[in-house]
Structure 1
Amino acid sequence: MGLFGKTKKEEEKKPVSRVKAAARKREPSVKAVKESAKTEVSLAKSKPAKKEFNQAWRVIKCPLVTEKSSGLAGLNKYIFEVYPEANKSEVRKAVRDLYGVNVESVNIINVPGKKRRVGKHTGFHSGFKKAVVSISAGESIEIIAG
């Protein structure tokens, strides 16, 4: 189809009256409203509940509260000190049970021990394992330093 055929077709079209266009716009049907309500309810149900008796204390030692970790809390990332035997799936389950939030991802970091010296005596400051837990948008964890 050439360039000249397009202009002829545009001229031939009749403008649609505004009354007909307004008549086409209808209120959403009752069925559509019920379906949207069901999806909202299903989203609300997806939040896991806190558990009273859990084994989270075997995985998580304590939350790490530092300047950097409080900055990451604004990005829905929280830092916890965990036991050396803990893995990502255990940390995910423990945070979900303990705080009742949806966990998106878990990153684990082994922080090495540092060499320390007092006078002529040298020693080591022990290392630890920490987990950076990302949670779903719109959720938060209330962590109090102490």
Structure 2
Amino acid sequence: MNQERIYKVLLGPHVSEKSTMVGDQGQVVFKVAPDATKPEIRKAVEQLFNVNVVSVQVNNRKGKNKRTMHGMGKRAALRKAYVKLAEGQDIDFMDVE
């Protein structure tokens, strides 16, 4: 996998209450591209952060229709990847260059 594709697969970390709870179990949550596959996500995390990935689970969240003052609007859809790291490994987002 080339470096350009790595940066297109992983869009950034997903920070939420649930992602901090699963962080205690050795999982990290990322926002990923809509066309990213599990093997691509695994390779991108391993190459970018120098960690060993045990498993990858992908979740697709559909965008909701919401009513606004100016009519109907739609929230964006989101694809998240729950990446389980090997025992004893961790990703520190503040330390990455």
* Normalised TM-score (structure 2): 0.88
State the Cα deviation string for residues 57-113 of structure 1 (Å, max 9, x = none): 020000101111111111110100000010000000000001110000000111100
Q: Number of residue pairs matched? A: 92
Higher helix share: 1
Higher Cα Rg, which structure: 1
State how far apart, in whole Å, the 1-side matches of 2:58 and 2:87 are.
21
| Cα RMSD after superposing both structures | 1.4
More relative contact order, 1 or 2 (CA 8 Å, 6+ apart): 2
Give yes or no for the alignment of 1:97 onto 2:47.
Answer: yes
> Aligned partner of 2:83: which letter?
V
State the Cα deviation string for residues 38-68 of structure 1 (Å, max 9, x = none): xxxxxxxxxxxxxxx8241020000101111
Residue 60 of structure 2 corresponds to 110
Give yes or no for the alignment of 1:86 onto 2:36.
Answer: yes
State the Cα deviation string for residues 90-143 of structure 1 (Å, max 9, x = none): 000000001110000000111100111113601110101110000001000112
Residue 3 of structure 2 corresponds to 54
> Aligned partner of 1:104: which letter?
V
* Normalised TM-score (structure 1): 0.60
- Structure 1 segments of 4 or more deviating over 6 A? none
